[in-house]
Amino acid sequence: MSARDKRTSTALSRRDAAKLAGAVAAGSLLAGAGAGRAVAAGARPANGARPADLVFHNGDVMTMDPGRPRASAVAVRAGRIVCVGGDAEVRAFAGSGTETVDLRGRTLLPGINDTHLHAAVYRLNLPPYALDLGPSAVKSVADIVAAVAAEARRVPKGQWIRGAGWNPYRLAEQRGPNRDDIDKAAPDHPVFLQDNGYHASAVNSRALELAGITDAGPNGPRKPGVDYDANGRPTGVLHYGGQALVQLLLPPWSRDERKHAIKDAVARLHAEGVTSYTDPGLGPGGEGLGGGTQGPETLAAYVDLAREGALDARVSALFLPCSQSGGSAAAVAKELRAFTPPTGLDPRRFAVRGVKLFSDSGGDLLVAGDTNEQRAAELAEMIRVAHVAGYQIGVHCYRWTSTVVDAFAAALRRHPRPDARHIAMHGAFVTPDVLPTMARYRIGLGPQAQSWFHAVHGAAQGPAGEEFLPWRSAVDAGVPFLGSSDTPVNQPNWRAGVQALVTRRGACGEVHGPNQRLTLHQALTAYTTAGAWQDAAETWKGSIAPGKAADLCVLGGDLRAAEPDAIGGIAVAMTVFDGRVVYERKG
C-alpha cells in the first residue's frame, strides 16, 4: 500500500454558393442554430476534384489540429475530411449535389469523444424500462414513494418495479429511500431503485426476502454490502457488490431490448455532438451491476449491431471480469482465459480494447483481502495479469489512485509493453508526486468534471489541498487528461464538463482550486484528441484535418465568445458521423 494513500485513505455564404454553382436550392434552416443548409446545383468543382458531399463555411472551425488550429470552412467527401481552410480554399470542392452549411459564425468542432459513458446502462434505466428518479423527475423521498405507488397500481402484483437516478443530496430529506419508504408504496411487488452513482440501491422487504437477506440481530453475521440498523435489521440499502444480491434476481432484458436501447442511446448522444465513446465495463462482472445491464448479453448486443451496420457511433468497450467488489487475480485470469474478443468487425465502429477493474469508491479497497495492504497486493496482481494478457486497463479508483498508478508502473517495468495506455478512471485524489510517474508511463487520468462541480454541491463537499482534482497540474505535467461524463451518473452534456474544467465552480457557487482551472483549448482537448489517444486512434479521428474521419459537431453559438459560466448551456445544432448528418436541432 502506498504511503500517499495512507495520507489520503480526485466562409461561403448562400450568395457565394450561388455564384459558384450557378444556382442554389433552398435548404432547411437549423432552428435555434442559425445555420443555413443548401444543395448546390452546377458543374464539377473548379479544381477538377470529385465534388464534396458536404461543405461547412463561414464559421469558427476549432480543428484541434496543431498544424492548423483555426479555419473557417471544411469539405467532406465519402466519410472523410478532404479540405480544411478558408472559405475561398474550400469553395473549389463544391459542385453538383454538394450540400452546404452556412455556419454564420458558429463553432465547428471534431465529433466529441466521451471516454467513459455507459450507454446501455443509461437507456435501460429510463422509461419505459425503469422509473426516472433523477433530480428533474423527483425532489423528495415522498416523490419517489408516489412514483413507485403509481407503478404498483399499474403492474400486476409480484412483478418487479425498477427505478434509477435518486441522489440523496438532491432530495428534500437529504437521504435516500429505504425499505420502509418503499414498503408503503408497494408491499406486494419486489422493488429495486438504483442511485445516480450506481454504487448504492434501495429495495423493499419483498426484494430482501427474495434475496435471502434477513435480520441478523445485534450480534449476528452480516452480509457484505448490506446496510443494517443498530438492531441488525436490513434497512433496504445495498452498497457496491452487495447490490448484486438483488440485481441478479431482476428479469434480464432480451438481446433485442438491449440493441434497441443502445441505438436509442446513440441517437441521444448524437443530440449532444457525441460520435465516439468508451462503454467501460461489460462482461461477467457486470451481471449484478447497473440494474442488470452490464453483463455479457449487452456486449453481444453491441457485436450484433456492429455486424448489422446499425451502430452509428465509434465504440470502444472494456471487458469486465469481476464485480464491483471482491475481485481477485484468480478471477481475472479465469475470465480472460474464457473470453474471446469479437472478430470480423470494423474496429473503427466497435472493438473490445481493454479490461476494467475496480479499486475503490472512496473508502477501503474493494478487492479480495482482509486488510488494505493485502488488497493492494491483490490489486497489483490483477493489474499485472490483465497487462500481460495484452489489454489496455482502466481502473475505477477515487482515493487509491496512487496505489493504482504504482501497480501500473510495476507491471510496465516487469513486463515492458510499448504504448499500453492504461487509465486511472475517476481519480479524484492524485498526489503531486505521482504525476511524473503517470506522465513517464503515459498513464491517463479520466475524471468526470460534471460529477465534482455540477452534480454535487461544489467545493464545500471537497477537501482542500493540491491532492483533490489536480486537473491543471496533471495537464502541465504531461499526463494524458481524458474528458467524460460517466453517463448515466451525469447527463452526456460535454459542454457542462468543459464549463467545470475551465471554471471549477460548483453548484453552490464556490470555486475550488482556481489554480487548477484549464484553458478552453485544454478542456476541449480532453473531449477530442485525448479520447482518440485513449482509443489508439489519433491518426484517423479526434481532430479536423484532411484524411481524418468526418465526425463533426456544430454548436448553436460561438464557443470562444461565450462566458465560461454559460458554456454548459450552449446547444448542439448539428452532428455529422462518418460524413452523414445524423442530428439537426429543431425548434
Give the model confidence (pLDDT) of 483-525 as tens digits.
Answer: 999 999 999 999 999 999 999 988 778 888 899 999 999 999 9
Using 50, 70 and 90 to split pLDDT, how confident is the model at 48? low
- Angle, helices 401-414 vs 372-388, to 10°: value is 40
What's the CA gap between 563 and 227, in Å, rounded? 45
pLDDT score of 576 more than 80: yes
Using 50, 70 and 90 to split pLDDT, how confident is the model at 457? very low
pLDDT score of 372 more than 90: yes
- The type of residue at 430 is V
pLDDT score of 285 more than 80: yes
pLDDT score of 136 more than 70: yes
What's the CA gap between 356 and 239, in Å, rounded? 19
Sole residue written with cell 464534396: 52
What's the CA gap between 156 and 406, in Å, rounded? 53
pLDDT score of 124 more than 90: yes
Sole residue written with cell 448486443: 301
What local confidence, expressed as pLDDT, does residue 508 receive? 77
Please provide residue 56's backbone torsions phi and psi, each rounded to the nearest 5 degrees.
Answer: -105, 140
Q: Under a CB-based contact definition with an 8 Å cutoff, are residues 320 and 285 in contact?
A: yes
- The type of residue at 301 is A
pLDDT score of 91 more than 90: no
Please provide residue 55's backbone torsions phi and psi, each rounded to the nearest 5 degrees.
Answer: -130, 130
Q: Under a CB-based contact definition with an 8 Å cutoff, are residues 400 and 6 in contact?
A: no
pLDDT score of 410 more than 90: yes
What local confidence, expressed as pLDDT, does residue 36 receive? 63
pLDDT score of 21 more than 60: no
Using a cut of 0.85, tell me whether the model's pTM lies above it.
Answer: yes
Helix (H, G, I), strand (E, B) or coil at 469: coil
Helix (H, G, I), strand (E, B) or coil at 245: helix
Neighbours of 476 (CB within 10 A): 15
What's the CA gap between 573 and 555, in Å, rounded? 5
What's the CA gap between 370 and 360, in Å, rounded? 15
pLDDT score of 379 more than 60: yes
Q: Give the cell for residue 155.
A: 403492474
Using 50, 70 and 90 to split pLDDT, how confident is the model at 1? low
Stretch 46-73: mean pLDDT: 92
Q: Residue 584: beta bridge partners? A: 574
Stretch 378-406: mean pLDDT: 97
What local confidence, expressed as pLDDT, does residue 30 receive? 33
Q: Give the cell for residue 456.
A: 454535487
- Burial class from Cβ neighbours inside 10 Å (0-12, 13-18, 19+) for residue 117 reads buried
Average pLDDT, the chain: 90
Locate CATH 2.30.40.10 in the chain. Answer: 14-111+548-584
pLDDT score of 536 more than 60: yes
- Of 167, 166, 168, 203, the C-alpha closest to 186 is 203
CATH number for 130-247 (one of 3.10.310.70, 3.40.50.10860, 3.30.70.100, 3.20.20.140): it is: 3.10.310.70
pLDDT score of 4 more than 60: no
Locate CATH 3.10.310.70 in the chain. Answer: 130-247
Query: What are the CB-based long-range contacts (under 8 Å, 24+) for 206-214?
Result: 207/236, 207/246, 207/249, 208/179, 208/234, 208/236, 208/246, 210/246, 210/249, 211/245, 211/246, 211/249, 212/245, 213/245
Stretch 82-111: mean pLDDT: 95
Q: Under a CB-based contact definition with an 8 Å cutoff, are residues 470 and 435 in contact?
A: yes
Percent of the chain predicted with pLDDT > 90: 82
pLDDT score of 8 more than 80: no
Q: Give the cell for residue 469.
A: 482534482
Neighbours of 340 (CB within 10 A): 7
What local confidence, expressed as pLDDT, does residue 42 receive? 47
What's the CA gap between 381 and 47, in Å, rounded? 59
What local confidence, expressed as pLDDT, does residue 529 receive? 98
CATH class held by domain 14-111+548-584: mainly beta
Q: 178-188 burial string, b = 16+ CB within 10 Å, else e?
A: bbebbbebbee
What local confidence, expressed as pLDDT, does residue 469 receive? 87
Residues 151-162 pLDDT 10s = 999 999 999 999
What's the CA gap between 561 and 556, in Å, rounded? 12
Q: Give the cell for residue 581.
A: 448528418
Q: Under a CB-based contact definition with an 8 Å cutoff, are residues 570 and 555 in contact?
A: yes
Percent of the chain predicted with pLDDT > 70: 89
Max distance between CA atoms of the chain, in angstroms, equals: 87
pLDDT score of 35 more than 70: no
Stretch 361-377: mean pLDDT: 95
What's the CA gap between 547 and 554, in Å, rounded? 19
Q: Under a CB-based contact definition with an 8 Å cutoff, are residues 289 and 327 in contact?
A: no
pLDDT score of 130 more than 90: yes
- Burial class from Cβ neighbours inside 10 Å (0-12, 13-18, 19+) for residue 221 reads exposed
What's the CA gap between 195 and 453, in Å, rounded? 18
Q: Under a CB-based contact definition with an 8 Å cutoff, are residues 501 and 470 in contact?
A: no
pLDDT score of 364 more than 50: yes
pLDDT score of 15 more than 80: no
Helix (H, G, I), strand (E, B) or coil at 406: helix
What's the CA gap between 128 and 131, in Å, rounded? 7
pLDDT score of 438 more than 60: yes
pLDDT score of 246 more than 60: yes
Using 50, 70 and 90 to split pLDDT, how confident is the model at 237? very high
- The type of residue at 372 is N
What local confidence, expressed as pLDDT, does residue 44 receive? 56
